[in-house]
Chains A and B, each alone.
Chain A
Amino acid sequence: EIVLTQSPATLSLSPGERATLSCRASQSLNTYLAWYQHKPGQAPRPLIFDAFDRATGVPARFSGSGSGTDFTLIISSLEPDDFAVYYCQQRSSWPLTFGQGTKLEIK
């Protein structure tokens, strides 16, 4: 099973700042990695597929990069609506697995 390790566990930033979230895989994923945003009481929202493809309707301030074992989600300028938990997820091999999440909180 591929283990995804996200860092940091919690990120405290202010609106307008840049957020950098990391996801490291225990083995190579090629680019088979997605990112999701999850807010309390809501369904997770897909943001990025295949490392850098933004999902439909996702603002351009969200960008993904990386390949192999190291991936990054960048939010270029945080808006109040962006504070949530973010998960990475791989589809490179069975079983499908998620990272443990990064909580992005308002500083």
Chain B
Amino acid sequence: EVQLVESGGGLVKPGGSLRLSCVASGFNFNNAWMSWVRQAPGKGLEWVGRAKSKAAGGTIEYDAPVKGRFIISRDDSKNTVYLQMNSLKTEDTALYYCTADHRDGYFIYWGQGALVTVSS
């Protein structure tokens, strides 16, 4: 059974940092491209960024609103992908989903999400 389990969410003040983790099981993590997708309260889904597999060059990509503030990394020995969020803004408040990519750009497996609230 495929599982993606996020952890590390919580309440943080504007300008603060938080790191999310996502542990994967049930599929070949080493070959998977892993993405983070978020959903702000009352809003739709927004792609945050992704980490390609080492076989695909290990490239990390970010969407514009988070580039320079968020860092995605992966540890294939632990089947884990991370989202380090720095210089957080109130507009980063969202439920953050960990996903595994399919066909290089769709999202086939999803975690249940980690809630991040940025508020003073």
Contacts and interface: CB of A to CB of B under 8 A. Distances in A.
Given A43-B112, A44-B97, A34 B106 contact: yes
Interface of B: 35, 37, 44-47, 61, 63-64, 97, 102-108, 110-113
Main secondary structure of the interface of B (DSSP, over half): strand
Interface stretch (A18-26, A70-78, A88-96): A88-96
Interface residues of A, number: 23
Listed from nearest, the 9 A-B pairs whose CB atoms lie closest are A91-B105, A43-B110, A96-B47, A98-B45, A34-B106, A95-B63, A101-B44, A100-B44, A49-B106
Contacts of A98: 44-47
Contacts of B37: 44
Given A87-B45, A95-B47, A99-B44, A50 B64 contact: no
Nearest to A96: B47
